[in-house]
Amino acid sequence: MDRREAIATAALELVAEGGSHALTHRRIDRRLGLPEGTTSNYARNRRALVRLVIDQVAAVADLRGGDPPLPESVSQAVTQLVAAFETTVARGTDTVARMALSIDCLQDPELHELLTTESPVRAKLLDEASRMLTSLGVPDPDRRAVDFIGIMNGLLYDRLVGNGVRGTRVDAADVLRAWLVGVGARQ
């Protein structure tokens, strides 16, 4: 891992642990044992630090866990999606950081868009979702891909920062199966 990637990873971890207010050049330098001011050579200001986190989140995003063959049935799709969901939950920090920054950057349209509507993660996941839904015969797969990403975000929110942290977890397999059947996926 090169220094830039180490800084991006440390920045992502700090946001996941303490929200965006925990993201400072000094904290990254301390976490990595770097001389004070080193992080500033890679990200001149706070906005550049946030961009590093956004890029790091995009680098690890994956909807179906690697590149398995496209599913041909709801059962295959649910198996792939739940495995990828559990991997994302286990990894956790990138999604928690994305969620924290999405809230904290709400008043900054440029950064908020990079975390939401114009996110490199979202574009990648929408494409993967559309291809998956097409393979399952879902009508209007591009439109349904938007809905699907919303469902996945809700499931991740529940498990990582919502009720699922300390209360009863939502059954991701049941939710995904019901939704796929409801939108007309081939069973």
- Domains with residue ranges and CATH for the chain: 1-58 (1.10.10.60), 61-187 (no CATH)
Q: Does residue 59 surpass a pLDDT of 80?
A: no
pLDDT reported for residue 125: 85
Amino acid at residue number 71:
P
Q: Which residues contact 107 (CB under 8 A, 6 or more apart)?
A: none
Q: Which residues contact 180 (CB under 8 A, 6 or more apart)?
A: 74, 77, 78, 136, 138
The HSE-up count of residue 76 (CA atoms within 13 Å, CB side) is 13
pLDDT tens for residues 73-114? 999 999 999 999 999 899 889 899 989 999 999 999 999 998
Q: Does residue 173 surpass a pLDDT of 90?
A: yes
pLDDT reported for residue 64: 62
Q: What percent of the chain has pLDDT over 90?
A: 75
Nearest by Cα to 169 from 89, 112, 93: 89
Cα angle 148, 104, 41; round to 5:
110
Looking at 30-34, 70-74, 124-128, which range is the least confident one? 124-128
pLDDT tier, 37 (very low <50, low <70, confident <90, very high otherwise): very high
Q: Which residue has the tokens 């393979």?
A: 135
